Each structure stands twice: as structure tokens, then as C-alpha cells.
Amino acid sequence: MINVDEDIIVYAFRYTLGRSTYAVRDMVEVLISNWGILSLRTRNLIRKEIETAIYETGKYGWEMDKNEWLKILELPNGKE
């Protein structure tokens, strides 16, 4: 598991979501690796922003990035 401050993860996620960059795969890997230690609030925020990008605005980056972001929506939310 990568030990990264939760706020930094959110900043990096928001920077990456919607951009056409190879960093999306790296960001998804970081999210998956740290999902269990993120607060429920943060997990819900990330899910909502991904859902908005994919299903409402279409601003999720390259088409191949959509499959990467969908991996996050498949993660269990868990309880806090």
C-alpha cells in the first residue's frame, strides 16, 4: 500500500479526471491501492465525480480512460 495523504490523493484525482493523459492508469492504481484507507466521504466524492464525468458531462479523458475510471466504480464502498 502506498502511504499518501488523503488530500493529496483527492488533488491528484481531480487533476487527472478529465485529462487526456497516461497518468490516469497510475491514478487508478493509487486509488485502488488506497481505497480501504480513504474515508467514506472521500470515496463517495470520488465516485460522484467519476459518475458525473462519465454519465453526465462526458469529460473523463480519452475513451480508454473510461474503462480505467469504471474500475473505481466497481470497488466496494464499505462502511465507516
The boundaries of the domain holding residue 61 are 6-73
Q: Is the pLDDT of residue 2 over 60?
A: no
Residue 80 falls within a domain, yes or no? no
Residue 78 falls within a domain, yes or no? no
Q: Is the pLDDT of residue 3 over 60?
A: no
pLDDT at site 77: 79
Residue 1 falls within a domain, yes or no? no
Residue 35 falls within a domain, yes or no? yes
Residue 14 falls within a domain, yes or no? yes
Residue 29 falls within a domain, yes or no? yes
Overall domain count for the chain: 1
Contacts 24+ apart (CB under 8 A), 43-48: 43/75, 43/77, 43/78, 44/77, 45/10, 46/10, 46/13, 46/72, 47/72, 47/73, 47/77
The average pLDDT across 61-76 equals 95
pLDDT at site 80: 52
How much is the pTM?
0.89
Residue 67 falls within a domain, yes or no? yes
